Structure 1
């Protein structure tokens, strides 16, 4: 089980990296939006490419941050229902949801989005807007985001199984609840 927990920690670190990248993308989208608005108002100059770049950045941030949201246990679920059950029952419910719902959906999205991205890449698909951008970079974010979500789902399943076997104190710890000890080992408060 310790090997799988190391795998889970590695996936979590990978997810945190992309979550931090998503924060920078939000900042870039915000700054681009502000500059675009100022230039448009002050100099009466606009660009469809700037507008599209904003939503490309936002889409990338959203898709890259989805795995971190799952990692931090802040994803959407019916908390009013699940909170009535014991932690073991909650872990079982999460595990069933991950294995039978989330992972198949991620695989399905990957199955359909990879050819979608590839076709846009090969054809050099451009936005139909005047001065618009190429489309494949934003299409690429779909399989990348769902691959990250799939990996994080595997990590969460590992943690639920470890908890059910008694090898992990709680799989429901949010990243903000974690501390790092001087030796670099993460643990729960």
Structure 2
């Protein structure tokens, strides 16, 4: 494999590893937001922002950790036949099916970018009482999808290398 592709795979996996490890800490942020909500309600002052902030934090946790989850192989896979195949056959099947995943993620990214642009154009805000701006969470979703697309491309390069008898 050309060195530029090997560097691309290592760079993408390094970035996704770092972002995924940082995203894990969002779970503690989520816990803090929910704990604040519980404490404030106990004292008769329910905050208006905690439910939506918890939702935004959970979406960020989920989307930014998606590429890291793919990298670790934590995604769901039908193992009816796949587990019995040789690594070379697995690589061949993965090299074909990764295009479906890339297509799916590209459609999500396209819709996400359109929605983010709309959010900026009309300064879209949530319909809740708190009324936060929607663009920041939409940007986070787009970044997460881009990271998943890049991880999918890294998988494709790894699979093609494995088919050639090389290992990255």
Q: Say yes or no: TM over 0.5.
A: yes
Aligned residue for 2:49, secondary structure, equals helix
Q: CA deviation at 1:155?
A: 0.6
Match of 2:65 in 1: 65
Match of 1:155 in 2: 154
Q: Deviations over 1:40-72 (max 9, x none)?
A: 12x111123121111101101100111011111
Match of 1:184 in 2: none
Give yes or no for the alignment of 1:112 onto 2:111: yes
Q: Distance in 2 between matches of 1:88 and 1:72?
A: 19
Q: Distance in 2 between matches of 1:62 and 1:31?
A: 17
TM-score by length of 1: 0.83
1:137-156 to structure 2, matched below 5 A, reads: 137-156=136-155
Give the CA RMSD over aligned residues: 1.4
Q: Distance in 2 between matches of 1:64 and 1:112?
A: 17
Q: Distance in 2 between matches of 1:133 and 1:66?
A: 25
Q: Distance in 1 between matches of 2:44 and 2:69?
A: 39
Q: Distance in 2 between matches of 1:92 and 1:37?
A: 51
Q: Distance in 1 between matches of 2:79 and 2:34?
A: 35
TM-score by length of 2: 0.93
1:80-119 to structure 2, matched below 5 A, reads: 80-99=80-99, 101-119=100-118
8 Å contact from structure 2 (residues 63, 141) kept in 1? yes
Q: Distance in 1 between matches of 2:17 and 2:81?
A: 29
Give yes or no for the alignment of 1:13 onto 2:14: yes
Aligned residue for 1:48, secondary structure, equals coil
Q: CA deviation at 1:15?
A: 0.4
Which residues of structure 1 form unaligned runs of 5+? 170-189
Q: CA deviation at 1:151?
A: 0.4
Which residues of structure 2 form unaligned runs of 5+? none
Q: Distance in 2 between matches of 1:95 and 1:89?
A: 10
8 Å contact from structure 2 (residues 40, 47) kept in 1? no
Match of 1:79 in 2: 79
Q: CA deviation at 1:146?
A: 0.8
8 Å contact from structure 1 (residues 125, 136) kept in 2? yes
Q: Deviations over 1:89-124 (max 9, x none)?
A: 11111111112x011111111111101011112222
